[in-house]
A and B are shown apart, each in its own frame.
Chain A
């Protein structure tokens, strides 16, 4: 059903992984000169993704390089240890896939969706009013991918549901697949080799540079060291307010407050002081 040209277009597919496995490369082969085009293409994928949020599909007949470069991009990215870049790369690759998927025949879309992604997707030929639907997609598969899409047309109340299936047009199906593709690439765990080949090191460094150039340096926020009353949940603030007004607070409320304060790391002496002044208890 899928040709090698298809695998070059969609290197995230299960069939593409299978193809790579069958080529029988080991990690050391990366060092061989014949692998340079693969490394170059892997780097260009990353560079485009990080700089533009897009990856273009080159007019090439070197399908093997296209297919192989994808897992190598993943490998390099994993070696940088930069999680945030992973998502950007995944989205960029998924967008590229969408542009190609939307031009595919319904048969091929169905093959990809049901094969790699295990969707329950039926072909239909249905017109309701002006709308033409090509597919009926199982409700859970639809929801998993549509909840992140914000346009009103993706909201479930605006869809046509029929006995557990959501009708979709061809282009919509491709768009939902884009979401699935992004998810698959993000969750793809690149198996890190025990000792990354030396030859990859410059590519990893180069990618790190690209990441800080395009994504900046991550900001870290430090949690406050002392309890901040404004940041406490309303129920806790309510208990404190009641105590401030010298109102009686039930045992469970006092217990919850003490437990909460201990949990957020309030000083024990501080808590006891709160007890003694407000609750008129002795320290024994």
Chain B
């Protein structure tokens, strides 16, 4: 094991060994599979099961893993091989990860290197390398405030859909900060736990607004006596119908100029009182805006109101997902539950730090960042003594090495 991993593991061990440490397993804990990704050779210990929180903590203390996971699925025999586990249903889980968001700040803090030709670039890695067409990259990402704020906004949109459209009782919803670049939403609902992969794919498409046809959400036109009339959904209607209208309202509020409309239409929308969206009917009240314009606006509204969830996590009914209350080996931050009523106020850079004291590290390269109330960096090839949580973050992100 390299010295950086050794240092991280020592710190993790100290954290987990604290006598007052408690870890709470998921509901139906005995029917879940647990997995531990070890620091050593990135080996995965899988197919473990625990009856009590104490047993689970005992295993974490023994192994001191970089990551702790549990299955979203419940099994008759969680320790058996995949074929013999006996699937009994899975929580509906959503993952919102800044990796999948197109935030403007990415080029300033993320970069990639092609494993084929060594080509480098800023921002998220492309699908294939522009110079050698290879599709494998080494990526360096950073968790930044803007990205995490965006992830939080996506989470808020998701919660609206899950509660208002899917009918999930908020008491069956739990929200977690992953300790890295995003949020997880777990739905524990008997009604939805039996959904298969194909059915979950429909759920995913609904949240993303993928395949949504505005016509099928009621946006259409009729002709009578040579007069064409546009008709469409109204504010306050259920599901995507109402959401399309609020989305259009939001778009217009943010500025008509950004909507890429023709100059006459831009002017017409500027002069139009968008409060008309609250009254009815409004689809024929903007001069020069016909069905085509409204369709384009409606599709933009869908983009705006949809939530950019990770499609794979939700569809996979055998997924292992991070256990709240454990340390994230990518950052040294704690994966923590966030009460939905205070999601807006939640500060991941304060509420998920655990390491106290200070540590000396040699930082290769790091952007400026904040942890708690302390602003740090940028660093470039220098040895510094930092608050332990910040030093751990840099070590875990492989931006620094331990220094003596």
Contacts and interface: CB of A to CB of B under 8 A. Distances in A.
Contact of B167 (A139, A144, A156, A159): A139
Given A129-B231, A130-B231, A156 B216 contact: no
A130 B218 contact: yes
B192 A155 contact: no
Interface in A118-169: 128-131, 138-140, 143-144, 146-147, 152-153, 155-165, 167
Interface string B190-223: 0110110011011101101111110011101000
Given A128-B233, A129-B232, A144-B199, A157 B209 contact: yes
B205 A157 contact: yes
Nearest to A143: B199
A241 to B, nearest CB: 13
Given A130-B218, A157-B205, A161-B239, A143 B195 contact: yes
Contacts of A162: 164-165, 167, 238-239
Nearest to A160: B239
A147 B211 CA distance: 14
Interface string A20-60: 00000000000000000000000000000000000000000
Contacts of A128: 218, 233, 237, 241
B168 interface: yes
Contact of A158 (B164, B201, B216, B231): B216
B240 interface: yes
Contact of B192 (A130, A140, A152, A163): A140
A259 B349 CA distance: 44
A133 to B, nearest CB: 11
B166 interface: yes
A163 B165 contact: yes
A242 B11 CA distance: 37
Nearest to B233: A129
A159 B240 CA distance: 8
A129 B216 CA distance: 11
Contact of B213 (A144, A152, A165): A152
A139 B195 CA distance: 10
Given A130-B220, A159-B239, A140 B231 contact: no
B71 to A, nearest CB: 21
Interface string B97-112: 0000000000000000
A253 B210 CA distance: 38
Nearest to B218: A129
Contacts of B218: 128-131
Interface residues of A, number: 26
B112 to A, nearest CB: 20
Interface in A82-130: 128-130
B212 A158 contact: yes
Nearest to A131: B218
Contacts of B192: 139-140
A135 to B, nearest CB: 14
Contacts of B166: 139, 161, 164
A93 B77 CA distance: 39
A155 B211 contact: yes
Contacts of A157: 205-206, 208-212, 240
Given A157-B240, A158-B213, A165-B167, A143 B202 contact: yes
A128 B208 CA distance: 23
Q: Counting chain A CB atoms within 10 Å of each CB, which of B199, B201, B218 scores highest?
A: B199
Interface in B210-264: 210-213, 216-218, 220, 231-233, 237-241
A219 B60 CA distance: 53
Contacts of A129: 218, 220, 231-233
A138 B168 CA distance: 12
Contact of A147 (B41, B199, B217, B240): B199
Contacts of A160: 217, 237-241
A153 B194 CA distance: 24
A164 B213 contact: no
Contacts of A153: 216
Residue of A128, A129, A138, A156 with most chain B CB atoms under a 10 A cut-off = A156
B232 A152 contact: no
B250 to A, nearest CB: 19
A86 to B, nearest CB: 21
A161 to B, nearest CB: 4
Nearest to A167: B238
Nearest to A146: B202
Contacts of A138: 191
Contacts of B241: 128, 160
A233 to B, nearest CB: 16
A21 to B, nearest CB: 29
B308 to A, nearest CB: 15
Contacts of A252: 41
A144 B200 CA distance: 10
13 contacts: A140-B191, A140-B194, A140-B195, A146-B202, A156-B203, A157-B205, A157-B208, A157-B209, A160-B237, A161-B238, A162-B164, A162-B167, A164-B168
Interface of B: 41, 164-168, 191-192, 194-195, 198-199, 201-203, 205-206, 208-213, 216-218, 220, 231-233, 237-241
Given A155-B202, A161-B166, A161-B240, 20 more contacts: A129-B218, A129-B231, A138-B191, A139-B192, A140-B199, A143-B199, A143-B203, A147-B201, A153-B216, A156-B206, A157-B205, A157-B206, A157-B211, A158-B213, A159-B239, A160-B241, A161-B238, A162-B167, A163-B167, A163-B238
What are the nearest 9 A-B pairs in CB distance? Answer: A164-B167, A162-B238, A158-B216, A157-B212, A163-B167, A129-B218, A161-B165, A143-B199, A156-B202
